[in-house]
Chains A and B, each alone.
Chain A
Amino acid sequence: MLEVKHLTKSYQKDKPALTDISFSVEPGNFLAIIGPSGAGKTTILRSLNQLIKDDDGQILLDGSDIRSDNKSQLRKHRRQIGMVFQNYNLVERLTVIENVLHGRLGYKSTFAGMFGIYSEDEKREALDLLDKVGLKDFALQRCSELSGGQKQRVGIARSLIQHPKVILCDEPIASLDPASSHTVMHLLKKLTVEFNIICVANLHQINLAKKYADRIVGIRQGKLVFDEESDMLSEEILETLYDQTISKELK
């Protein structure tokens, strides 16, 4: 279980980016974080694997606090937390399978990792995962030659090979066309259930959040304004979140 308690962060003095954020997610659940731009969604997500050092609070993964980790403990925690990015953040010059295998780096000795030496099992698993995300025939293709949707699926495979307890997705579909968006969201939802992992995704599209997420957390100006089952999300709540009527989006 992932538990966030009283998370607080400010980049500049007296300008809090996050104030007292608390929520928790059980394995097999998909949590969407929604809210206007600049609300603090990215800050929350990056605090969860400590790419950003927050100021106060607790982040408990199965009871152990990531925030009090030393360097090697943090490395062990990070390899249990996959991350999927809006811009995919792949090494474009390398092949698809090399990028997937990068997800194993956290488990490898520095030397083996530096020179990309992977075991047969790891390679086989990478191919299996590529099959799972629908890219079986692309293993040896350069990532720069893929479409956005395909790149994002490579990103998902890279996070899965970490054997993660949690996958964090920061606007995973914001750069994708509607069809690819659905493919990626569907895939994330399916894998969350299949591997019994926790998926936390920042999303802009409220309709997709409602469709795929089990629960939705709303953030506004760094504060948590609601935390509901996704079916419970009403127009009134959205109005307070975005300061405007967006009933169209709900349909």
Chain B
Amino acid sequence: MSSPIKFLAQKHRKQTAIIAVIGSIYVLSSWILNFDNFSGFTAVPKAFNWLGVNFFPTAESVELLPRIWQKLIETVALAVSSTVVAAIIALFVAILGSKATGINNYVHVVVRGIASFFRNIPLVAWAMILLFSFKQSDFTGFLALLLMTVGYLIRAFMEIIEDEASETMMALKATGASYFQVIFQAVLPQIMPSLISWVLYMIENNVRDATLVGILTGTGIGFIFDLYFKSFRFDAVGMTILAIIIVVITLEVLSNQIRKVIL
């Protein structure tokens, strides 16, 4: 074993090395992409200026609001339903797979692997794959969001159970409580706040992602965004973006309020 001083010096060197590596990766990738850093930065204000002029909602685009609103509600509903269903599935799987409540270590490793698989396939790839089977429909979007969200939530829930419920579980086990009693009386009440907090976070995320998926599946707000964009109705596109932003921010404020109450 090395001495503490040596260890700290090594740690310091490691950190420096990591920063150097990240820096070189940035330089290298800029070079590969032919990305001129300086003109890249100066182009940003210009781009925003162009956006501001062309995408500014006009009186005409305000008339489109009811339609935009209806599609937006569809999209929010898609995000909420897929997240809630994903959360229920993920909770079951996480209980079976976590180190604290699970069947055994073999199952734990398999569940982690499956969760990682679902999580690491990009959402767009999920949507495109599912388009083959389910065509352009709300269900395709629902399924794509569901699968990705299940991947995220299984992992999050397993960690929450292991971190927050292990000790109380042990106490109830010691009283002679059975497995299901322990799950219902100790694990679920103990993890509920963190669980809800994660579900709210995934809903916020999925509203944004559902927009993207909608472009591919031809549904919801993504569909009319795409429609207006391709027909050069930039003012209407601006209106749509504005509406999305308002809804996303509202949801964020709302879920923060809920968090404050439950935590």
Q: Which residues of A contact B175 (CB under 8 A)?
A: 78-79, 82-83, 102-103, 105-106, 158-159, 162
Contact A113/B174 with A87-B167, A91-B185, A105-B185 known, Cβ cut-off 8 Å: no
CB distance from B192 to the nearest CB of A (A): 7
What separation, in Å, do the CA atoms of A158 and B183 have in the docked complex?
A: 18
Decide if B186 is an interface residue (CB 8 Å cutoff): yes
Q: Which residues of B contact A78 (CB under 8 A)?
A: 173-176
Give chain B's interface secondary structure class: helix
Please state if B177 and A113 are interface contacts (CB–CB under 8 Å).
yes
Interface residues of B in 68-87 (CB under 8 A from A): none
Please state if B167 and A106 are interface contacts (CB–CB under 8 Å).
no
CB distance from B72 to the nearest CB of A (A): 35
A113 to chain B: closest residue by CB: B181
Interface residues of B in 161-204 (CB under 8 A from A): 167-168, 170-178, 180-181, 183-186, 189-190, 192-193
Count A/B pairs, Cβ under 8 Å.
84
Please state if A105 and B170 are interface contacts (CB–CB under 8 Å).
no
Decide if A211 is an interface residue (CB 8 Å cutoff): no
Contact A113/B190 with A89-B167, A89-B171 known, Cβ cut-off 8 Å: no
Q: What total of chain B residues lie within 8 Å of the partner, measured CB to CB?
A: 21
Please state if B185 and A51 are interface contacts (CB–CB under 8 Å).
no
CB distance from B148 to the nearest CB of A (A): 30
Q: Which residues of B contact A89 (CB under 8 A)?
A: 167-168, 170-171
Interface residues of A in 70-101 (CB under 8 A from B): 75-79, 81-83, 85, 87, 89-94
A86 to chain B: closest residue by CB: B167
Q: Which residues of B contact A110 (CB under 8 A)?
A: 178, 180-181
Please state if B190 and A114 are interface contacts (CB–CB under 8 Å).
no
Please state if A91 and B186 are interface contacts (CB–CB under 8 Å).
yes
Please state if B178 and A75 are interface contacts (CB–CB under 8 Å).
yes
Please state if B168 and A79 are interface contacts (CB–CB under 8 Å).
no
Sampled A-B contacts (21; CB under 8 Å) = A75-B176, A76-B176, A77-B176, A78-B173, A78-B175, A79-B175, A83-B175, A85-B167, A85-B170, A87-B167, A90-B168, A91-B168, A91-B189, A91-B190, A93-B192, A103-B175, A105-B176, A107-B176, A114-B184, A115-B184, A162-B176
- Known: A82-B174, A83-B175, A93-B192; 12 extra A-B contacts, CB below 8 A, are A76-B176, A82-B175, A85-B171, A93-B193, A102-B177, A102-B185, A102-B186, A107-B176, A108-B181, A114-B180, A116-B185, A158-B171
Chain A positions within 8 Å of B, measured between CB atoms, are 49, 51, 75-79, 81-83, 85, 87, 89-94, 102-103, 105-108, 110, 113-116, 155, 158-159, 162, 168
